[in-house]
Each structure stands twice: as structure tokens, then as C-alpha cells.
Amino acid sequence: MAIFAGFDLGGSGLKAGLVDGGKLLYKTQAATPPAAEGFFALVEAMWADLRKEASGPIAAAGFGLPGIFDLKTRRILQSPHTGGLDGIDIEPALMRRLGVPVRADNDANLAAYAEWRHGAGRGVENLILLTIGTGIGAGIITDGKLVRGGRGYAGEAGHMSVRPDGEACACGGTGCLETEASARAIVRRYRETAGANGPLTAEDIQGRAAAGDEAARKAIADAARYLGIGLGILINLLNPEKILLGGGVAEAGDDFLLPAAAEARRRSFPDAFRACRIERAALGNDAGLIGAAAWAAETPGRSF
Ligand SMILES: [Zn+2]
């Protein structure tokens, strides 16, 4: 099989890897420079590294990019991590530097694509991936196709409002699934009730909840409830066969997932709920990387 490269740009940096048949063969990672020139220089350096590591020619490269990626202009409109890339013709710019076909898309969409093709979503035609970390990323496969919408903006389930009077979100909305059920939401609620200072992660709070800390239990129960409201909406709207939950919070324990599933059951049609399996995602932090490579492999060069 041919070798494909995947790149995944996120809050913690730029990752790059070599993928063959859905298997990640090699991975490298570096902090992302803030400006476009630094980003392209880093991509070139990583590309040289990938070519050295690859056992043969690399057929194409896929790029998972955070923020809104416009399918018509094929430009990033709003990138939360590398503002310097906004509005740049990124695919031609990358193709010039790499010398192979390049396909870019939203990182959360590509993570869902990876789970569908190579992870816990294999074998179904209707799948949703929610990645619950600092924020909540989402990608949707319906009737065997990645849902893109008119211009590629679809699938932003993290920005469904699940609490009308909730927290203000960076997207401009209020009480988004992301502001109410993410790792950041758990930490925020715990600080509010327990008055805790100092560095804290959602995992710390999950540990405290397991040890009997009431404020920690409440923070997790609240986040689980809002996640369940979001799941109920998605189940009624899309009749998914599977909803996969990834990210650190989802991987940590059933204390979060079971109450969320119970809330979703209360808020969706019984048949639709029964037809949906809520499971953990399989590919972890590598989903974006594998998805980017798989996306490039699916239709190499088609968009050019
Ligand atoms: Zn939002």
C-alpha cells in the first residue's frame, strides 16, 4: 500500500506522521510558531523528516486544521491557534512546498473520518465523534458520508446551545455544549463551588470525585448532564448508530459517561436511543493525524 502523510494542527502544536492502511508508522511533533512563515518553515522541516523516515515515496498529504475551513475558497476563515493562517490559500501554498497533492480540512471532521475508517466506528454508516478536551470537537458521518454542509462549516456540535443562560463561548454563542461539558467547564464549576486555587485539571477533579469530594462530584455531574442534553439532541436529529466519545475526560471514567447516557435516554425517542451505541473512541490523540492521512488517501489529488 502507498504511504500517506498526515499533519494535525492543534493547541499543543503541529503533529506530523506517516500512515499506511490506517496504521500510524511514525510520528513527530513540535510547538507551532504563531506566524504563517514560521508555520510553513516548520512544515518543510517536518516533511524532510517524514521523507527520511518513509520506506518509499509519500503519495499525498492531508492537513487537519482547527477552526472554520471554507470548502469553496479552501481557506481557513477563523483559526483559534494560528491566526496567521487565516485567509491564506493554504492548499496551493503547501503543495508548492511539499510537491505532492495536499488536502486540508477541519481537524475534528478528519478525526471522525479516522474513527469511521480505521477506529471504533468501522462498519457503521451513521456515526458521530465528540472529542471532549479543553473544548469539544465534533465530526459527523451520515449515510456513509462526512457531513460538510453548504460551505464545509457543518458538524459543529460543540457549539449547540444546551444551556440558554450559560457561559459565553468564544464562538459568540452562550451556553454551548463546549462551555458546559468540556474539561474546562468541569474545572470552572469546581473552582466556583470549592473555591480552589492553583493549577487543576479535569482529571484531578475526576480523581477527587472518586475519593468522595462533593464539589468535584457535582462539577462532573453537571457537565455530564449537559453532555447528555447534547447527545439527546444529536440522537433525535441524526439517528446515529454510534456516538463515539474521545478526549481525556471521556477516557477517564464511567462516572462521567453513564450519567450522560442516562440524560440522553431521557431526552431522545426510545427507539432512536436504543438504536445508538455510545462508546469510547479508539484512536486517542492520533485520530486527527490518521484522519488527515486517510483523507488524503481517499481521493489523492482530486481537488486540484
Ligand atoms: Zn460556542
One digit per residue, the tens of pLDDT, for the chain of length 304 reads: 689 999 999 877 899 999 998 999 999 999 988 788 889 999 999 999 999 999 999 999 999 988 778 888 877 777 766 667 888 888 899 999 999 999 999 999 999 999 999 999 999 999 999 999 889 999 999 999 999 999 888 999 999 999 999 999 988 999 999 999 999 999 999 999 998 788 899 999 999 999 999 999 999 999 999 999 999 999 999 999 999 999 988 877 788 999 999 999 999 999 999 999 999 999 999 999 999 999 999 864 444 3
Residue in the block written with cell 474521545? 246
Note if the pTM is more than 0.85. Answer: yes
Residue 135 main-chain phi, psi, to 5 deg? -115, -165
pLDDT of residue 304: 34
Q: How far apart are CA 145 and CA 117, in angstroms?
A: 11
Domains of the chain, start order: 3-111+286-298 (3.30.420.40), 123-281 (3.30.420.40)
Total residue count of the chain as it appears in this document: 304
C-beta neighbour count of 108 within 10 angstroms: 26
Count of CB atoms within 10 A of residue 164's CB?
7
Half-sphere exposure of 201 (CA within 13 A, CB side): 8
Ligand 1 centroid vs 158 CA: distance in angstroms? 7
- Pick the closest to residue 252 from 287, 292, 200, 206 (CA basis): 206
Q: How far is the CA of 100 from the centre of ligand 1 (A)?
A: 35
Report CA(6)–ligand 1 centroid distance (Å): 27
CA distance 220 to 224: 6
Pick the closest to residue 283 from 142, 156, 129, 157 (CA basis): 129
Quote the ligand 1 centre to 160 CA distance (angstroms): 7
**156 alpha carbon to ligand 1 midpoint, in Å?**
9
The 8 Å CB, 24+ separation contacts for 151-154 are 151/70, 151/71, 151/72, 152/68, 152/69, 152/70, 152/71, 152/72, 152/105, 152/106, 153/68, 153/70
What is the distance in A from the centroid of ligand 1 to the CA of 29? Answer: 28
Q: Which residue has the cell 460551505?
A: 151
- How far is the centre of ligand 1, averaged over its atoms, from the C-alpha of 72 (Å)? 23
